[in-house]
Amino acid sequence: MERVRNKRYFRLRQFWLTLLDAVLLNGRVARWSHRLGLHGRLHIARHTVELSAALPMPAPLLIAFASDFHAGPQTHPDLFTNLVDELIGLRPDVVLLGGDYVSSRARFIDVLAMELRRLRPPLGIYAVLGNHDWWTDDQHIVAALQNAGVNVLINRNCQLPEPFGAVSICGIDDPWTGNADAVSTFAGARPVRIFLTHSPDGLLLLKQERFDVAFAGHTHGGQIAFRNGTQIVTAGGPLSRKYGRGEFQISDNGTLIVSLGIGCSNVPVRINADSEVILCTLQTAEPP
């Protein structure tokens, strides 16, 4: 996971993060925002994706997906406690995590990892990294996730345990700050392919690779949006507005589901873009 970093850019970024932490009073502004209800309310978005009869499943697979936690001065840590409590109650078969575990310094992941340790889905927890993770100490991020029982997928896939051995979780590196490699991501994948990418822009890198259902975050749904969901500020990347939130059918491939994320980036406020957990049932379609 070694990569060449622009030293000047990262020095400037560290200066900006130090300034931002000071402006946010090292988390006190987020605490006030959370008390006022300006972090939004965590809600569950339920989806059902049906596979063709050529891809039989022994039973419906219940998938939980959460992304964009942004642990640090921008996000009150109670969100992570509430998130894990919800996930324990939902009892998914497998949990997927979509990256951006911190907003600034890598050490902030420790409070999130402490909560993730409480999760024990029967088929495991799988994760990719986001742009904010690569902008900090990615090795610390990966180690913290692994110590919490999370399987980190960077340009590789992992077969689920039986009875879902026909399913692979295919996790690609972040499309812009990482070294994304779609060929390695899908190499040897099983017939049913769940594509995990931090950003919807991961679709641009697929080439001939196929998936059945994909999960992405990154957009926050704008984090501050109009009542109809239109983003006021769009996250970076050419597909972030087109696939800003919700479910999309991708031609010649499968279904893309984009989460609004959990935490706050830059400013500790969410308006018309509440924190969101995706709960997706993956099943074989009933015969006509």
How far is 150 from 173, CA to CA, in rounded Å?
A: 16
Model pTM?
A: 0.92
Distance of CA 223 to the CA centre of its chain: 15
Tokens, residue 22: 């000071």
Distance of CA 203 to the CA centre of its chain: 15
How far is 178 from 52, CA to CA, in rounded Å?
A: 33
Give pLDDT, residue 1.
Answer: 42
In sequence order, what E strands does the chain have? 43-51, 61-66, 94-97, 125-127, 150-152, 156-159, 167-171, 192-196, 213-216, 246-249, 255-258, 276-284
Nearest to 175 by CA among 116, 235, 119: 235
Q: In a 10 Å sphere around its CB, with 0-12 CB exposed, 13-18 middle and 19+ buried, how is residue 122 labelled? A: exposed
The percent helix, strand, coil of the chain (3-state, each to 5) is 30, 25, 50
Give pLDDT, residue 277.
Answer: 97
Give pLDDT, residue 33.
Answer: 65
Angstrom distances, CA of residue 23 to CA of 18, 76, 284 = 9, 16, 51
How far is 203 from 239, CA to CA, in rounded Å?
A: 9
Strands 276-284 and 43-51: parallel
Report residue 248: phi and psi, to 5°.
-140, 140
Nearest to 56 by CA among 194, 211, 167: 167
Sheet with strand 94-97: strands edge to edge: 43-51, 276-284, 61-66, 94-97, 125-127, 150-152
How far is 208 from 95, CA to CA, in rounded Å?
A: 27
How far is 161 from 215, CA to CA, in rounded Å?
A: 20
Domains contained in the chain, CATH given: 7-284 (3.60.21.10)
Task: Classify residue 287 by its DSSP letter.
Answer: P
pLDDT in tens, the chain (288 residues): 444 444 455 666 666 676 767 666 566 666 656 666 767 789 999 999 999 888 889 999 999 999 999 998 889 889 999 999 999 999 999 999 999 999 878 999 999 999 999 999 999 999 999 999 998 889 999 999 999 999 999 999 999 999 999 999 999 999 988 999 999 999 999 999 999 999 999 999 998 899 999 999 999 998 888 889 888 888 889 999 999 999 999 987 899 999 999 998 888 788 898 999 999 999 998 776
